[in-house]
Chain A
């Protein structure tokens, strides 16, 4: 069965960096684009970034462009999100999600990132 397991969240000071990971199993990871989506506590869902199956195309939300970098290692079945220059407004639960033609069919359980001094 498809499984996505995020890790790497935690408490970090503003301006610092953090790298999230998403370990995938139960499907051919190298075949699907993959996304990061976040949810601010008490608020709605916000799409963050996407990478194509082979990293040839990557897109970012304006709110993270220039600060976050999405990447993947298909040999390790793992998706990453490098988050630099973190701001308090980046505080959220971060989910990785599998892309299937205009939608997300599977989500991980999420990892909480808290940006606070």
Chain B
């Protein structure tokens, strides 16, 4: 199985400051069609996961533009340009290139 490794696992941030989460995969996530199926999800307490980013850098409808995704191959990053209080939660990367689809361990974002 493809192992997804996130860092850090805990991220205390100051409101208004940037935050960055790394996600590394044990194999390249480039699919045979040339797409890279790497997504980012936000899980707020008591809510179901919400997709923020798909195919590395495509933001979902309604997702604030302070969220951005980047990377290629095996190395990916989610950035929040200015953290707001509503961004508190756990963030997961997920690969959908190789079966079974696998998630990172999650990064808990909290306000300092």
Contacts and interface: CB of A to CB of B under 8 A. Distances in A.
Contacts, number: 55
Interface residues of B, number: 25
A107 B39 contact: no
B59 interface: no
Contacts of B100: 47, 59, 61
Contacts of B99: 59
21 contacts: A45-B41, A45-B49, A45-B92, A47-B101, A47-B103, A61-B100, A100-B54, A102-B31, A102-B39, A102-B54, A102-B55, A102-B96, A102-B97, A103-B39, A103-B54, A104-B39, A104-B41, A104-B51, A107-B50, A108-B48, A110-B48
Interface of A: 44-47, 59, 61, 95, 100-105, 107-110
